[in-house]
Structure 1
Amino acid sequence: MKPKKRSKTRLILGSYYYKSKRYLEWNLGNAKFAKQVDSAALQYTIFEHKTPLLRRLKDVEMILQYNKIKNLEIAIRKIDNIMIYPGETFSYWKSIGIPSKRKGYVEGMTLFYGGFKPGIGGGLCQLSNLIYWMTLHTPLTVTERHRHSYDVFPDSNRTQPFGSGATCAYNYLDLRIYNPTDQPYQLSIKMDSNFLYGEWKTINESTLSYEVYEKEHKISQEYWGGYIRSNSLYRRTMNRYGELISDEWITENIALMMYQPFLESSNKG
C-alpha cells in the first residue's frame, strides 16, 4: 500500500489504454446493457437513501461543491428512471457518457493520488456511492465496483460503514449492476437544494430485507510510516418474518489514510 508516484506520461498512456480497452468491451462484449428509460414509476420501492449535497471539507473551496451539484444535475438526466430488465446490466459510465465541457459539465472536486484537484465532471462519485449502497439492499448483483484507494477526509457524522461507496473514473472505473431476477428494476434519482435522493423500484413487493455491516475494521501503521485503514463488508438477508436466510461476505476495503488517525479534527469533513 505504499504509494507509488507515476509520471505524467505514464498516467496519460495508462488512461488511454484502459479507456480504449473499455470501449472495445462495450462494443464487442457479450453484456446486454440497460438503456430504456420509463418515466412511469414502478409500484414498489425496494430501498431508498439520501445523502447531503454540501459538506464543509478541510481545504476544499465551496465553489467546487456547488459545481458538483451542476454536474450531478446533468448526470441524473441520463439515468433517472432507467430500467434494468432481467438479464441486463446497468453500466454507470455507458449510461451517463463522458463528462465534458460541451455537455455543460464544470470543474468539481476530483480525488487524485490521496489529494484532490478541480476536474471537469468532478463530484460524480457521490452518485455512484449512492447507487452502490442502495444496490447492496436489493437482490441485484454488483458485478463491478472499485473501492477508494485513499481515505482522504476524517469521518464526520458517518452513518454507513467505512468503504461502502464506489469510486468512479470515466470510463474504466465503472459501476456495473446485473439483474439476475425475473422482474424489472427501475433506478430513480432526484435532488433538491439539500439532498441527493435515490430509490430502487420494482413491480412486486419484496419479501426480503438486508443489513449491511462491517467486520475487522482496523487502522494499522505500516513500516514506511503511513497508516492503512481496512475492513470487510458483510450482508445479512432476512425473510419477511425477520428470520436470517444468509450472512455473506461482500468485499474488502483497504485505503491509505491521508490524515493523522486517533486525533480529533477541528475541521472535519
Structure 2
Amino acid sequence: MMTVFLSFLLASAPLTVTEDDHAIDKLVKEDFELLYVDGLLIDETKLELQMDILDQKIYQEPINAKLDGSGKIIQEKPGTTLDRMKFRKLFQDYFYEGKPNKIALPERKTYPRVDSELLAEIREHEINRYVTHFKPRNKERSRNIELAAESINNHVVFPGERFSFNDVVGERTEEKGYKRAPVIVKGELAEDIGGGICQVSSTLYNAVDLKGIEITERYSHSRNVPYVPPGRDATVSWYGPDFVFTNKYKHPILIRASAHNGNMQIQILSSESP
C-alpha cells in the first residue's frame, strides 16, 4: 500500500494531498471556516464532503473468501478505507493550531463479510442440487449462462437476508461480455443482450425451492422453456422481472454455480442439514 501524505500549509495557502509525490487534491483552510460570535468553527458539511473525496482515492474493497473449482478455500483479503476519526483529529490540529504541516493520510482496514473460517463451516453440507442442460454450440447463449453463473457463484446469503438475482448479477451489458442471444418476449422469440441467463435464474429457483427458503418474487415465461418442467422457470430482466428469495434458516447458505460443457449446475451448501 502506497503512503498518502497531506501537507498542511499555513495562512491561505492550499493544503496539498499527495500520493507518490503527485498532487491528488488541494484544500484551502478558509473553505472550511464558519464564523460565529464566539469564535471560528469548522464547517462539518464541507469536511465530511472532503473526507468522502479522500476516501474515494484510497478505498479498496475487501474480497470475500471463496471456493475454487476444486473446492479449495481461497483466502479473503481485507480492504482499505479512510480512518475518519484520526483524520478529523489531525485536521482539527491543523485548523486551530496550524500544525502539523505534513501527515500520512490515516487508513484503516475493512474486513469482508465472508472469511475462510465461516466458509469452511457453511460448505460442510449439501442441502440441495439442481442441474439443467444447454447446447454448447450456441456460443453466445452459452457465454451468457457462464457469466451469470460466475456472478452468483460463492455468494453467501445470511439468515434473514434477501437475495435478488438482478442485484447480484447486475446489468447485463456488452461491456461485461454479454452477447446477443435468443430471449422470449411476449411469447415470441427475439434476440437481446444477455439472452439465456433465465436458465441460470430458473436453475437457481429449483435449487433453492426448500422449506427454509421463502420465494418472494418469481415470474414464469410467457411460454414453456425446454430446460425445466412447465411452471418451474424463473424469468428475469434488468428493467423487468426479478427472482428474489429470503433465507429463513438460522444459518447462512452458500450458492455454488457452474456452467461447463452444456451443464448448468447449482448446489446449495450450509453448515447444517435441513
Q: Residue 147 in 1 paired to residue 201 in 2?
A: no
Which runs of no fewer than 5 residues in structure 2 stay unpaired?
1-62, 68-72, 74-118
2:149 corresponds in structure 1 to: 76
2:191 corresponds in structure 1 to: 118
Post-superposition shift, 1:144? 0.5
Using CA pairs below 8 Å that are at least 6 residues apart, which structure has the higher relative contact order? 1
User: How big is each residue's C-alpha offset from its partner over 1:176-221, in whole Å with a ceiling of 9 and x where there is no partner?
Assistant: 1101121000111012212011111110122xxxxxxxxxxxxxxx
Which runs of no fewer than 5 residues in structure 1 stay unpaired?
1-34, 56-61, 207-269
Partner letter of residue 108 of structure 1?
Answer: A
2:261 corresponds in structure 1 to: 193
TM-score by length of 2: 0.54
Post-superposition shift, 1:48? 0.6
8 Å CA contact 1:50, 1:198 repeated in 2: yes
User: How big is each residue's C-alpha offset from its partner over 1:89-112, in whole Å with a ceiling of 9 and x where there is no partner?
Assistant: 110000011101111111111111
* Distance in 1 (alpha carbons) for counterparts of 2:153 and 2:236: 18
User: How big is each residue's C-alpha offset from its partner over 1:149-181, in whole Å with a ceiling of 9 and x where there is no partner?
Assistant: 233x6x6xx8x6421111111143100110112
Post-superposition shift, 1:54? 1.4
Map 1:81-92 → 2, pairs under 5 A: 81-92=154-165
1:43 corresponds in structure 2 to: 124
* Distance in 2 (alpha carbons) for counterparts of 1:150 and 1:193: 26
1:52 corresponds in structure 2 to: 133
Post-superposition shift, 1:77? 2.1
Three-state SS of the structure 2 residue aligned to 1:189 is strand
Give aligned-pair identity as a percent: 23
8 Å CA contact 1:143, 1:178 repeated in 2: yes
* Distance in 1 (alpha carbons) for counterparts of 2:180 and 2:65: 28
Partner letter of residue 86 of structure 1?
Answer: P
Partner letter of residue 191 of structure 2?
Answer: P
Three-state SS of the structure 1 residue aligned to 2:204 is helix
* Distance in 1 (alpha carbons) for counterparts of 2:64 and 2:141: 26
8 Å CA contact 1:37, 1:80 repeated in 2: no
Report the number of matched residues: 159
Equivalent position to 1:178, from 246, 268, 271: 246
Partner letter of residue 85 of structure 1?
Answer: F
Instruction: Summarize the Cα distance change of 1:37–1:97 in structure 2 as closer, same or farther, 3 Å threshold.
Output: farther
2:233 corresponds in structure 1 to: 165
8 Å CA contact 1:91, 1:175 repeated in 2: yes
* Distance in 2 (alpha carbons) for counterparts of 1:36 and 1:90: 17
Which structure shows the bigger proportion of residues in helix conformation? Answer: 2
8 Å CA contact 1:37, 1:83 repeated in 2: no
TM-score by length of 1: 0.55
8 Å CA contact 2:254, 2:270 repeated in 1: yes
Two-structure CA RMSD over aligned residues (Å): 2.2
Post-superposition shift, 1:137? 3.3
Q: Residue 108 in 1 paired to residue 181 in 2?
A: yes
Query: Structure 1 runs of 4+ off > 2 angstroms?
Result: 35-41
Rg comparison, structure with higher value: 2
Three-state SS of the structure 1 residue aligned to 2:182 is strand
Three-state SS of the structure 1 residue aligned to 2:200 is helix
8 Å CA contact 2:185, 2:222 repeated in 1: no
Instruction: Summarize the Cα distance change of 1:132–1:101 in structure 2 as closer, same or farther, 3 Å threshold.
Output: same
